[in-house]
Amino acid sequence: MLGAVALAVGLAEIAARQLGEPRNVGPAFTVYDPVYLRRLKPDVSFVSTSSEFSWRFTTNTRGLRDPERRVPPQRPILFLGDSFTMGYGVDDGGEFPRLVEAALRRERGPAPPIEVVNAGIGNAGNGHWLKFLAREAPRYQPRLVVLQVSSNDVGDNLRERLFALGDAARLVELPVPGPSWQRRAQSVAESIPGLSHSYLFASLKQWALGRGATPTPTPTPTPPTADAPPGPGGTSAAGEALTLAMIDAALARCAAAGWRTLLLNVGWDGPLRDRLESLCRAHQTPVWTVPTKAERPDLYYVIDGHWRAAGHRWVAEQLEPLIRAALTAPAGQRGP
């Protein structure tokens, strides 16, 4: 019986490899967290592959895609966002926050370098921002916070349920649920050596994540996130109101702490983009919108919706002067 099972599994693995490479053949990027719901695995380094690319992913002991540091950086630039900021699909050092740091280091010459903290995490909504700004950002006292929004934020915020709109449209932090069955299964599977590199297991994991995700509307067709496939299209007035309230709260928290802000827009378009820009103007926060895949296909992978290495380089080149302007703007003025 054991031999028959082994033979069946072997044949299924061969069939899975013949059918094509699924997303994320390799370990999961995140683990369950009782505060954030999910966070990047701390102190890991592995290669993940897909049908289009293979890339090296490394985190430090704090669970950030940053170099290991003995002491927290002093007044760094803090990047918050999803898989675009995390750098899904590009090797360590190729993500745009790290490229911005390198450009600023070259420009400053012998002056003390401005360091960067990359707190981006794939498959996460804006609730991660609010929790990070309240719990971890104060130890850094960032000189600038770069907030990256994505077209799937509306769906992610409804799915995660970290915050909700209460009476008088006030933002309410909700209790974080316990680990899902997918997380419990992940722990068991990753205890089996080599299983995470199986095509069959990766296909089953992709199916399970899709089954476990609550279908939520998004304003435009969205790229797949780092740990889960996209949901159906559409839009939700309740989700949009919640998302804008969370962005408003994040900008207000930064302003209250004296941290300058810059917003990076990836995929918000139409009336929702107009509302976002109006909100940012009220907070004196400059906004820069990245060209879509239809406008600049050379920045993106052909199948996957994320930026390729050339896309991260281009975004860093365009973003660096905006960051310099935000850092040098007079008091009371947030930037261009």
How are beta strands 45-49 and 260-266 bridged, if at all?
A: unpaired
Exposed, middle or buried by CB within 10 Å (0-12, 13-18, 19+), for 315?
buried
| Lookup: tokens for 62 | 């704090």
Answer yes or no: are the C-beta atoms of 276 and 158 closer than 8 Å: no
Residue 194 has a pLDDT of 66
Answer yes or no: are the C-beta atoms of 132 and 119 closer than 8 Å: yes
Angle, CA of 253, 147 and 321, to the nearest 5°? 115
Residue 309 has a pLDDT of 97
pLDDT tens for the chain, 336 residues long, are 877 756 665 655 555 455 556 666 778 899 999 999 999 999 999 999 888 899 999 999 999 999 999 888 989 999 999 999 999 999 999 999 999 999 998 887 777 889 999 999 999 999 999 999 999 999 999 999 999 999 899 999 999 999 999 988 899 999 999 998 888 888 787 777 766 656 555 555 565 555 444 333 333 333 344 443 333 334 588 999 999 999 999 999 999 999 999 999 999 999 999 999 999 999 999 999 999 999 999 999 999 999 999 999 999 999 999 999 999 877 555 555
The candidate with the shortest Cα–Cα distance to 132, out of 45, 225, 62, is 62
Residue 182 has a pLDDT of 82
HSE, side-chain direction, 13 A CA sphere, residue 325: 14
Exposed, middle or buried by CB within 10 Å (0-12, 13-18, 19+), for 52?
middle
As beta bridge partners, residue 45 has: 58
The pLDDT tens digits for 193-245 are 766 656 555 555 565 555 444 333 333 333 344 443 333 334 588 999 999 99
| Cα 33 to Cα 83: distance, rounded to the nearest angstrom | 17
Angle, CA of 169, 144 and 94, to the nearest 5°? 110
For the chain, how far is it from start to end, CA to CA, in angstroms? 70
| Lookup: tokens for 84 | 């675009």
Residue 227 has a pLDDT of 42
Q: Is 243 helix (H, G, I), strand (E, B) or coil?
A: helix
Across the chain, mean pLDDT equals 84
Residue 45 has a pLDDT of 96
| Lookup: tokens for 256 | 């209250």
Angle, CA of 323, 327 and 333, to the nearest 5°? 110
